[in-house]
Structure 1
């Protein structure tokens, strides 16, 4: 019996050794020999991803649904989210994915004593947390990126209040400005793979970006913390050596599109979207077209195509006339149903906001279907069919924005300079950005001449935010300008103010998420959503009376 037992023990031992050996082999075979752990990765291997994904988000919002909210563009089909604010369950996962990668960059840069990468990571941390809180409100912040440390406080993080997040953003940008005060040769030594796709490893440019973002966020909270905002803006402007900012378009924080494939090409291009539907369904919005035309604005010819087939409606035409001659469609009044709107401008016609269930049918477009081409409404410029181009840029911050921020500060009576001079500089920077800077003097001699009002200033800033409309949305929320009205088919009769918290967060992190929801302030337009509504007010708007 003892012999049998010994044999059994020996057999089990051999089997165990075999299984452990197989396990070791499996572990070794499942290790990617080309992979790099977060503890060893070079920050350059991740930097380009953080910068490109952050930049793409700017365009995806600024040319996408927020361009619809801010009435730069409208879609003629599949338009619910763009035209009508038909939103729900909006995810922030993409932003937190970027922030996780960015955290690794920062930690590795600290370990490797790379101050340039530390500074860039601080700027991008501020930028992406800024987008999260601007879009949603309260959000996981202090413990948001600590899941690897375990514990419920990290796996199910509390939502920091919006004021705390803004304070953290400003602190990160202040630190970034300090850390980035390195010479260019040091930065270039760190940026050995050329992965800084925004500024090419120039630390001074990143300092300008950081400090310009500080101006943005001080102005963002000015309705809630006016003394803090004023002190912060005046501090930056009073010491340009310590706080350089973006003052010319050569300093703009931009990313160009490579255009080698659909993932790195301008989103509306028809190079990789062979059917061209992404381009065709986007048309100019009537609100922006009217604003540009009344000001004789030369940017309209850069951003928009003239109508392909103008309309002529005249009672001098014979009854039952409806024909195209030499590229012009002639229609007699008896062919137009009563109460149907139309626009006979021979050059530029915009699609009204939220005009109906089939917006492609606007302006008497015959036989229109969902997303069909409309030759009687202006398309966006033909350059947006391209995969890449000199004007097809993600614009994270610009000289035009900075000048308009400072012009607003001057209107507030802050010690930053002359409001008219700063307003004019903002207009000039935008015109130069779009290649029409030679028309600056003529433009400001017309209806765009400075009149000293906040409405005019913010309206010009809204115009200048073309392809980056998200900033215009955040300005609208805190000022009420431009005074936009929702269209007839919109989900509410007012513009939305925020994104919905996504259902996954409300379910998995229910207790913390619901605390944040309950801190939102309902408005006359919140119902029937409950507090987690696109029409509820986060902290930054509560008590300000804006925009409604």
Structure 2
């Protein structure tokens, strides 16, 4: 058994234990999980600092790396089109070809509530109670972190325990918010945090706030700008489900005097100190993840200067020296077949969750939809997004790239396919995009949207969760469908996976609540059912 299989098996075993711990003890951890009263916390807020840091570290769990592998890498990072493992886990019947592995996917839920590697809702609920009237700046941070963490969870499963967290229903079950209600509460929490931080934006932060901050070193202004940017992201997320609410929330974000994240230095990235980025472990040490075929097609076709910043060239003799990705959901007989395709470049010790480049593309879409307050044209925001992304990687040739009106995503050819030609995407394929880079104001709305989202998708790498969510919302960029579909008809090959089912242990340990949560969905509790905001 090689190390990669060992870690997956350990993860699956740990998942079984942790799910039980997470879901069967709702009463215990929904009361006072830290055993600390407000009086215990008031003297110096030392525990509050620790709890805020724990929550920031748990948005995207970075240690141990097998948790990252299960929380996001073998799910959203693949479904986004960014990555694909060369490893045929579980006899090549797994998440990648839609045989969803509950023991893996529960790790997208466990850290949100309670697990051996930290949690989000447990510490933040305690911080909110402790600080609401005595330290509103810390209260605001807690609200922002909670929304950033929990919208990601909702965008995987749909219904989540959010506003009803700690509240037992009359029948003894623990209830979920529908995704619509969850989003309504996300906006409510962001609005409250923004109202607190807006008058503080030019003030020096308290030592406690600075100690708790793993992103901006204690800057009220930057946290406020992030909250506005997050509000705009979520507003656009729901634009097809509730256009009026989306516009109201988006314009409120744009109108705030602090504005939004705007330069690469503003990126919302959690500092993990001397710890190795988990993708470096999964990618380099375990060789369990490689470049995805869609990002190869798009970035090679655009001759994108960011390619060497994102990936290494392949070492396999068949594609040596090229940037070569693996198509999702294909026949993989052995790890050795694709292990020599492009590895990911080495990441610094920061977990990137939002880039300023993404925020410029959000503004471009807001302007495209006619929302007020953007302050720049669609084209200006679009081009600023590209420039900001290039700046993030210290590249200075954005102008040439922006003015390229001819380059298009390239064909994808797999010389090592088990069945020759089966994995290829040629120019005759409907799955190969024809979108170019240069802005054209004369294009139709949908073509403009595809151009914006395609460039945003490139700039957000490697944040696969957000990229997968935006693909489901917009259909862009064009990705490649799985070749092998092991879902048993639950998930459509041509419309792709839309969500992940609630873990089975939820039905065992919280049957009444889980049943009510499933009834909130637009269909059966499986990967083919669209989320509330995910409209055709």
Q: Distance in 1 between matches of 2:526 and 2:182?
A: 21
> 1:267 aligns to what?
278
1:473 and 1:209, CA in 2 relative to 1: closer, same or farther beyond 3 A?
Answer: same
Q: 1:268 to 1:82 in 2, by over 3 A?
A: farther
Deviation at 1:198, TM superposition (A): 0.9
**Residue in 2 aligned with 1:294?**
301
Spell out, residue by residue over 1:137-160, the C-alpha distance to the aligned partner (whole angstroms, 9 max, x if none). 1222232134xxxx5449622222
- Measured after TM superposition, the shift of residue 78 of structure 1 is 4.0
Contact 2:88 2:332 (8 Å CA) reproduced = no
CA distance in 2, matches of 1:152, 1:62: 31
Shift of 1:119: 0.8
State the distance in 2 between where 1:433 and 1:64 align: 26
Structure 1 pair 459–103 and aligned structure 2 pair: CA distance change class (3 A): same
Secondary structure, aligned partner of 1:539? coil
Cα deviation for residue 371 of structure 1 reads 5.6
Q: TM-score, normalised by structure 2?
A: 0.75
**C-alpha distance 282-412 of structure 1, shift in aligned 2 (>3 A):** same
* 2:314 counterpart residue number: 307
Paired residues for 1:104-115 under 5 Å: 104-110=126-132, 113-115=134-136
Q: How many positions carry a matched residue from both structures?
A: 434
Counterpart in 2 of 1:393?
350
Shift of 1:67: 1.4
1:254 match: secondary structure: strand
Contact 1:253 1:397 survives alignment (8 Å): yes
Determine the structure 2 residue equivalent to 1:533.
Answer: 526
Cα deviation for residue 373 of structure 1 reads: 6.7
Question: Which is higher, the Rg of structure 1 or of structure 2?
Answer: 1
Give, in angstroms, the shift of residue 284 of structure 1.
Answer: 1.0
Equivalent residues of 2:313, 2:320 under 8 A apart: no
User: 2:400 — aligned with what?
Assistant: 442
Counting only pairs closer than 5 Å after superposition, residues 96-111 of structure 1 correspond to structure 2 as: 96-97=113-114, 98-110=120-132
With over 3 angstroms needed to count, the CA separation of the structure-2 counterparts of 1:184 and 1:100, relative to structure 1, is farther
Distance 1:245 1:207 in 2: 8
For 1:231, which of 235, 248, 254 is the aligned residue? 248
Distance 1:38 1:419 in 2: 51
Q: Work out whether 1:502 is the aligned partner of 2:503.
A: yes
Deviations 1:190-226 (A, max 9, x none): 336x231111111111111111111011111110111
Structure 2, unpaired ranges of 5+: 1-33, 115-119, 408-436
2:53 aligned with 1:48: yes
Normalized against structure 1, the TM-score is what? 0.74
* 1:71-125, Cα deviation, whole Å (9 max, x unpaired): 21111114454532332433322102311101111222235x1122011011112
Match of 1:337 in 2: none
The alpha-carbon distance between structure 1 residues 141 and 469, as it changes in their structure 2 partners (threshold 3 A), is same
1:353 to 305, 328, 336: 328
Contact 2:327 2:480 in 1 (8 A): no
Superposed CA deviations along residues 483-507 of structure 1, whole A, max 9, x for unmatched, are: 2232212435142111210112112
Q: Is 1:250 aligned to 2:265, yes or no?
A: yes
Name the structure 1 match of 2:158. Answer: 137
Residue 482 of structure 1, aligned match among 477, 493, 500: 477
Matches of 1:373 and 1:411, distance apart in 2: 41
- Whole-angstrom CA distance in 1 between matches of 2:508 and 2:354: 36
The residue that corresponds to 1:37 in the other structure is 36
- 1:295-444 residue pairs with structure 2 within 5 A? 295-311=302-318, 346-358=321-333, 369-370=334-335, 374-375=339-340, 377-381=341-345, 383-384=346-347, 389=348, 392-415=349-372, 416=374, 417-436=376-395, 438-444=396-402
Give matches, 1:205-244, under 5 Å. Answer: 205-237=222-254, 239-241=255-257, 243-244=258-259
| CA distance in 2 between partners of 1:483 and 1:183 (Å) | 40
Alpha-carbon distance in structure 2 between the residues aligned to 1:450 and 1:185: 40
1:182 CA drift (Å): 2.2
2:181 matched to 1:182?
no
Q: Deviation of residue 165 (structure 1)?
A: 1.1
